[in-house]
Amino acid sequence: MRGKARIRDRPPGARAKTELMRRTAGATVPTPIDGRYDLAGWYLMGRIFRLRRSLPRARPRLVDLGMGRGRDILYFARRGFKVLGIDSSRDAVRRAVRRAARLGVRIETRTQDLRTYPLRGPFEVVYSSCFLNNLPPATRRRRFADFRVATSPGGIHAVNAFLRNSPHPTSAGETPDTSPFRRGELRGYYQGWEILESGVVPFKCLGPGPVHRHTVDVVIARKPTTQAQSVDP
């Protein structure tokens, strides 16, 4: 497979963080506008920038599922991506729009519940960091099928999800509506796609709130360019 790589499972601690930093060192990772990024989202962003030239369009259309206050899509928008951010929090979306206006950046937003919202593509990039656990387990297969259909042939998904039985249980941002993924579950939603990277990443979350630790499953996958190969299971 073209450019296939794996993120090795590593025990938590300095060695794991060093490996993650080494892998992102070659990527074009933008400097934060404000605040600090968790390493899980930072890693995905770096990989998207590295894969940009392989995307079907010179100005890729990117959707951020669970955009929060828009930090990530503002980076992408300032670097030539056509972006759509979706989040169920009206306050978060308003903050993203205000921040974009201050920076003179054009973004598109939707205040919608991604558990049911019918995503309309096509998108060259589907990006989601630290959101997918909000999807109820019973609806995930259907939702991922919708996300895949909304992706252009040759487009990519760069996503992560908190893991069940993690040695670093979530200590911030946890709600009764969230549910961790089983190990390998995320990759299972991409049958028939080219898996560019997959694996488990332990990381220290730097914000918002107190510093805390998580373990996430990461998948970066490309949709086949031929119709026969892109049929969803």
Higher pLDDT, 10 or 199: 199
Smallest Cα–Cα separation from 189: which of 217, 152, 216, 227? 217
How far apart CA 39 and CA 205 sit, in angstroms, is 7
First-residue to last-residue Cα distance in the chain: 20
Q: What is the largest distance, in Å, between two alpha-carbon atoms of the chain?
A: 48
pLDDT in tens, 157-191: 999 998 875 554 444 444 445 789 999 999 999 99
- Give the chain's mean pLDDT: 79
- pLDDT category at 50 given cuts 50, 70, 90 is very high
Domain encompassing residue 200: 14-23+35-64+113-222
> Residue 123's domain is classified under what CATH number?
3.40.50.150
pLDDT at 216: 86
Least confident of 55-59, 81-85, 191-195, 226-230: 226-230
Q: Position of tokens 């589907």?
A: 126
pLDDT in tens, 122-150: 999 999 998 999 999 999 999 999 999 99
pLDDT higher than 80, residue 35? no
Residue 173 lies in a domain: yes
Residue 200 lies in a domain: yes
Least confident of 4-8, 41-45, 101-105, 109-113: 4-8
pLDDT higher than 60, residue 233? no
* Angle 143-147-148 from CA coordinates, rounded to 5°: 115
Distance, CA of 39 to chain centre: 12
Report how many domains make up the chain. 1
pLDDT at 71: 87
How far apart CA 70 and CA 41 sit, in angstroms, is 12
Q: Position of tokens 């990519």?
A: 156
pLDDT at 115: 94
Across the range 77-85, mean pLDDT stands at 95
Annotate 52-117 with three-state secondary structure.
Answer: HHHCCCCCCEEEEECCCCCHHHHHHHHCCCEEEEEECCHHHHHHHHHHHHHHCCCCEEEECCCCCC
Element (H, E) at 144: helix 140-149
pLDDT higher than 80, residue 31? no
Least confident of 1-10, 57-66, 82-91: 1-10
Smallest Cα–Cα separation from 179: which of 195, 164, 158, 197? 164
pLDDT at 42: 78
| Peptide linkage before 169 cis (omega within 30 of 0) | no
pLDDT at 208: 58
